Amino acid sequence: MKVSRAPLKKLSRRQVALIFGIAGALRREELYKMTLEDINDTGTVLIITIPDSKTHIQRRFTVIAETTQKNRNLIEIYRKYKPQRPKTVKSNHFFLQFRNGNCKTQVVGINTFSKIPSIVAKYLSLPNPDHYTGHAFRRSPASLLVDSGGDLIQLKKHGGWKSNAVAEGYVDESIQNKMDCANKIFTG
């Protein structure tokens, strides 16, 4: 899923959730529970801590300023979303609802995060957009990491998986790995 085609003003919350979800291989629950204190903006990188995950292991991930494609500054998208937060909000949840262009004090619900991949897939005119669920936040970065040459250890650390079984499934399904194997077989 590409972030760069979505209009910033309309989709900033979705864009930030998409960026964080993919950068951290997050579950919808982890996006829902994310607080202001979990995000450290160092100026050149965002360091995000997931204090309590499904596996009860604290994880950290980073978001870098620019991607290699289209030079999109991902930190600026975050920085444009964060100040829209009303000063009167009592909750320290990071993601808040927007209605009629204004940020409200209501926290974004867990099911809203599940719908974001489908909404983005529809926006990008991808086939079968309803097949994109909240699990795409976990699956997409795992596939991207493996396809770009990441190994099993990197994958396990990134996704917070304890066992090899789940991580190996992503490696086994990687088309890039299958192409690399075919290349080694046929070209020596």
| pLDDT at residue 8 in the model | 46
Residue range of the domain that includes 73: 9-133
Q: Which residues pair with 165 in a beta bridge?
A: none
pLDDT at 9: 47
Residue 30 lies in a domain: yes
Burial (CB count within 10 angstroms: exposed 0-12, middle 13-18, buried 19+), residue 49: middle
Q: How far apart are CA 165 and CA 167, in angstroms?
A: 6
Do 74 and 123 belong to one domain? yes
Among 133, 158, 174, the domain boundary falls at 133
| Residue 24 counted as domain residue | yes
pLDDT at res. 6: 47
In a domain? residue 1 = no
Query: 87, 104, 133: which is the final residue of a domain?
Result: 133
Asked whether residue 127 falls in the same domain as residue 140, the answer is: no
Q: Within this chain, do residues 139 and 187 fall inside the same structural domain, yes or no?
A: yes
The pLDDT assigned to 2 comes to 46
Q: Which residues of the chain have pLDDT under 70?
A: 1-11, 67-69, 103, 188
Residues 184 and 140 in one domain: yes
Q: 85 and 45: one domain?
A: yes
- Residue 56 belongs to a domain with what CATH number? 1.10.443.10
Q: Quick check: is 3 in a domain?
A: no
Same domain, 177 and 114: no
Distance in angstroms (rounded) separating the CA atoms of residues 53 and 71: 31
- φ, ψ of residue 72 to 5 degrees: the values are -80, 125
Residue 170 within any structural domain of the chain = yes
| Rounded CA separation 83/16 (Å) | 13
Rounded to whole angstroms, the Cα distance separating 96 from 111 reads 13
CA distances from 23 to 65, 74, 76, 125, 186 (A): 12, 10, 15, 22, 35
Determine the 3-state secondary structure of 25 from DSSP.
coil
Which of 150, 12, 4 is CA-nearest to residue 68? Answer: 4
Same domain flag for 140 and 110: no
Domain boundary pick from 108, 133, 158: 133
Residue type, 56: H
70 and 143 belong to one structural domain: no
Q: Is there a single domain that holds both residue 119 and residue 141?
A: no
Domain count for the chain, please give it: 2
Statement to judge: residues 171 and 111 lie in one domain: no
Residue 4 lies in a domain: no
Please report, for residues 21, 116, 117, the alpha-carbon distance to residue 133 in angstroms, rounded to integers and kept in the order given: 12, 8, 6
Q: Rounded to whole angstroms, how far apart are CA atoms 38 and 48?
A: 6
The answer to whether position 2 is within a domain reads no
In this structure, the answer to whether residues 46 and 114 fall within a common structural domain is yes
How far apart (Å, rounded) are the C-alpha atoms in residues 89 and 185? 60
Distance of alpha carbon 99 from alpha carbon 20, whole angstroms: 22
In a shared domain, residues 148 and 116: no
